[in-house]
Amino acid sequence: MNGKRYSRQRELIYETLMHTNEHPTAEMVYQWLKPENPSLSLGTVYRNLNVLADEGRIRRMAFPVERYDADLHAHPHFRCDKCGAVYDMDFPYNSELDRRALETSAHQVEGHEVIFHGVCVNCKTLH
Partner DNA sequence: TTAGGTGCAAACAATTTGCCGTGTT
Partner DNA sequence: AACACGGCAAATTGTTTGCACCTAA
On whether 80 is known to bind a ligand per the annotation, the reply is yes
Nearer to DNA, 35 or 92 (CB): 35
DSSP single-letter state for residue 23:
-
Q: Does residue number 127 form part of the binding site for a copy of itself (CB under 8 A)?
A: no
Q: Does residue number 3 form part of the binding site for DNA (CB under 7 A)?
A: yes
8 Å CB contact between 49 and 13: yes
Binding-residue pattern over the window 28 to 57 for a copy of itself, x denoting contact by CB under 8 A? -x-------------------x--xx--xx
Classified as helix, coil or strand, 86 is: strand
93 binds, among DNA, a copy of itself, none (CB under 5 to 8 A by kind): none
Nearer to DNA, 39 or 125 (CB): 39
* Residue of 88, 95, 99, 126 interacting with a copy of itself (CB under 8 A): 88
Amino acid found at 118: G
Task: Please state, as a whole number, how many other Cβ atoms lie within 10 Å of the Cβ of residue 114.
Answer: 14
First-to-last alpha carbon distance for the chain, in angstroms, is 28
